[in-house]
Amino acid sequence: MKIGSILENQNVECRIAITPEVVKKYTSLGIEIYLSKNYGSHLGITDNEFTELGVNIIDDENKVLSISDVIVQLGMLSDDKISLLKENQTIIGVLDPYINKEKLEILAKKKINLFSLELLPRITRAQSMDILSSQANLAGYKAVIESFANFEKAIPMMMTAAGTIPAAKVLVVGAGVAGLQAIATAKRMGAIVFATDVRMASKEQVESLGGKFLMVEGSENLETEGGYAKEASDDFKKKQEELLHETLKKINIVICTALIPGKKAPLIIKDTMVNNMQTGSVIYDLAAIQGGNTAFTEVDKIIEKNGVRIMGESNILNKLPVSASNLYAKNVFNFVDNLFDKENKKININLEDEIIKKTLIK
């Protein structure tokens, strides 16, 4: 079996789906790897590093696509690449069916197998393949680093002969994987950390990391069976708004991570709340690409409102592409390993396997 991958659009995505570290794992299964020329050069990985491991480097990326049985990518292929694909090929990546519906329909009509990894079920057996968790972990860490770099005061409490500098107060909105990593990172750097989430299960996790959980009075548990947050009721939103309005007056840095799969990000921090924050405060909105959790978020811009800086990037992981690629490549290999029929050396779409069934787009 042949697995191939080509470079993503470098203006959008710097990560890669196959790293030297996972090549040996693929070849140990008897799988051949085909990559486009200079596949990892932007990450400091030369073509020689790949070829020494037995990878086939091809000058023409169109040829990589045409000869591969399985194509692994980060995102959706462009229209001109889709036209090159043929029946029974398989694509594995973050295909985002909510946004790429038309492209996926075209691919399905061509009888191409489509697996979107963000649809993985939240079960123990799928943890090693969970790209949302591995990437969100890094995003939560980096959001804290970026926001602290834009905050013009010290983060930890410092006692000096000239006086005491108080510790910065951080609020993390959304205590999923990204939020929990943001809490842990901010706490390690000496901040006082608060967090809020619609899922009651988050309270214990937040407190175990040293954060203080802010709970809306009479809260309902807004968690789906799959472990994701679901949309809150109007009554909950009103109570949450009142709680945040008062809390934000004393907060220096806010990390927003609240997302609902397949929907626009919930608007949590309203314009009136931002206007009541202290001058010099910073908001980093990890939900920017899905509309943002704040009223003023603009993708890839730093917006200043009433002395508050609001940041949000289209892909924060482009600032950690080596680490992010390493984790993503391992997730993808583990998914392929589960999909691969080792006896017949080909993929086996076993719909009795929950992992395969939930990620397959029909």
pLDDT digits (tens, 9 = 90+) for 123-143: 999 999 999 999 999 999 999
Least confident window among 115-124, 151-160, 256-265: 256-265
Same domain, 257 and 353: no
Same domain, 306 and 179: yes
For residue 227, name the pLDDT band (cuts at 50, 70, 90). low
**Domain span including residue 260:** 136-318
Rounded CA separation 184/22 (Å): 29
For residue 261, name the pLDDT band (cuts at 50, 70, 90). confident
Residue 127 lies in a domain: no
Same domain, 352 and 218: no
Give the model's pLDDT for residue 53: 97
Same domain, 66 and 177: no
Mean pLDDT of the chain: 93
Specify the pTM. Answer: 0.90
Same domain, 182 and 300: yes
Q: How many CB atoms lie within 10 A of CB 338?
A: 16
pLDDT digits (tens, 9 = 90+) for 40-76: 999 999 999 999 999 999 999 999 999 999 999 999 9
When comparing pLDDT for 308 and 200, which is higher?
308
Same domain, 34 and 172: no
Give the model's pLDDT for residue 189: 97
Rounded CA separation 227/331 (Å): 19
Rounded CA separation 292/176 (Å): 16
Based on its alpha-carbon atoms, the radius of gyration of the chain, rounded to whole angstroms, reads 22
Q: Decide if 362 contacts 95 (C-beta within 8 A).
A: no
For residue 238, name the pLDDT band (cuts at 50, 70, 90). confident
For residue 111, name the pLDDT band (cuts at 50, 70, 90). very high
Give the model's pLDDT for residue 220: 58
Q: Decide if 182 contacts 140 (C-beta within 8 A).
A: yes
Residue 45 lies in a domain: yes
Rounded CA separation 89/64 (Å): 12
Q: Is the pLDDT of residue 233 over 90?
A: no
Q: Decide if 247 contacts 212 (C-beta within 8 A).
A: no
Same domain, 88 and 204: no
Instruction: Return the HEC string of the chain.
Output: CEEEECCCCCCCCCCCCCCHHHHHHHHHCCCEEEEECCCCHHHCCCHHHHHCCCCEEECCHHHHHHHCCEEECCCCCCHHHHCCCCCCCEEEECCCCCCCHHHHHHHHHCCCEEEEHHHCCCCHHHHHHCHHHHHHHHHHHHHHHHHHHCCCCCCCCEEECCEEECCCEEEEECCCHHHHHHHHHHHHCCCEEEEECCCCCHHHHHHHCCCEECCCCCCCCCECCCCCECCCCHHHHHHHHHHHHHHHHHCCEEEECCCCCCCCCCCCECHHHHHCCCCCCEEEECCHHHCCCECCCCCCEEEEECCEEEEECCCHHHHCHHHHHHHHHHHHHHHHHHHEECCCCEECCCCCCHHHHHHEEC
Same domain, 51 and 110: yes
Give the model's pLDDT for residue 98: 85
Rounded CA separation 227/175 (Å): 12
Residue 88 lies in a domain: yes
Residue 351 corresponds to which tokens in the numbers above? 């719909």
User: Residue length, the chain?
Assistant: 362
Bridge partners of residue 311, in order along the sequence: 284, 302
Same domain, 168 and 88: no
Residue 126 lies in a domain: no
Rounded CA separation 142/182 (Å): 8
Half-sphere exposure of 223 (CA within 13 A, CB side): 16
Sequence-distant (6+) residues with CB within 8 A of 203 are 197, 213, 215
Same domain, 221 and 344: no
Residue 352 lies in a domain: yes
Which CATH number goes with the domain that contains 61? Answer: 3.40.50.720
Sequence-distant (6+) residues with CB within 8 A of 11 are none
Number of structural domains found in the chain:
2
- The amino acid at residue 164 is T
Residue 355 lies in a domain: yes
Same domain, 253 and 154: yes
Residue 128 lies in a domain: no
Q: Decide if 351 contacts 357 (C-beta within 8 A).
A: yes
pLDDT digits (tens, 9 = 90+) for 280-317: 999 999 999 999 999 999 999 999 999 999 999 999 99
Same domain, 114 and 146: no
Residue 129 lies in a domain: no
Catalytic residue numbers?
Answer: 122, 127, 130, 133, 228
